[in-house]
Amino acid sequence: NAGVTQTPKFQVLKTGQSMTLQCAQDMNHNSMYWYRQDPGMGLRLIYYSASEGTTDKGEVPNGYNVSRLNKREFSLRLESAAPSQTSVYFCASSERNRPQVLHFGNGTRLTVT
């Protein structure tokens, strides 16, 4: 069991470029999440998917889009990257019976110049 796997681990983008962060979980969890982690601001929820086929905005969705491709995969897309999106991005998942217990990936460190 790999748990939650995120790719890539590191990425540098120029302002205006686009990219997709990939996340996959092998625990058969129903819910998946994208958080960003910034110094002094903790973890903030970008988007989440309560179940396959549904997605909802979190606290800071602007500038991002998501796709719940299937039960295993939940991707985060930056259409036109901005320096304010420089952050560490974490994907997480949770099971139906314990939705508040989050299982995290290792994170993607993104720098936008």
Partner 1 sequence: AQRVTQPEKLLSVFKGAPVELKCNYSYSGSPELFWYVQYSRQRLQLLLRHISRESIKGFTADLNKGETSFHLKKPFAQEEDSAMYYCALSPSGGYQKVTFGIGTKLQVIP
Q: Which residues are at the interface with partner 1 (CB under 8 A)?
A: 4, 31, 35, 40-45, 48, 50, 58, 90, 92, 99-107
Q: Closer to partner 1 at the Cβ: 90 or 112?
A: 90
- Least Å distance, CB 35 to partner 1, is 8
Least Å distance, CB 15 to partner 1, is 27
* Sign of the CA dihedral running 26, 32, 36, 41: negative
**What is the C-alpha separation between 89 and 9, in angstroms, rounded?**
9
Half-sphere exposure of 73 (CA within 13 A, CB side): 8
Torsion 51-52-53-55 (CA) sign: positive
Choice between 30 and 86, CB closer to partner 1: 30
Q: Which two tokens stand for residue 11?
A: 């990425």
Q: Residue 69 or 101: which CB sits closer to partner 1?
A: 101
The least CB distance from residue 42 to partner 1, in Å, is 4
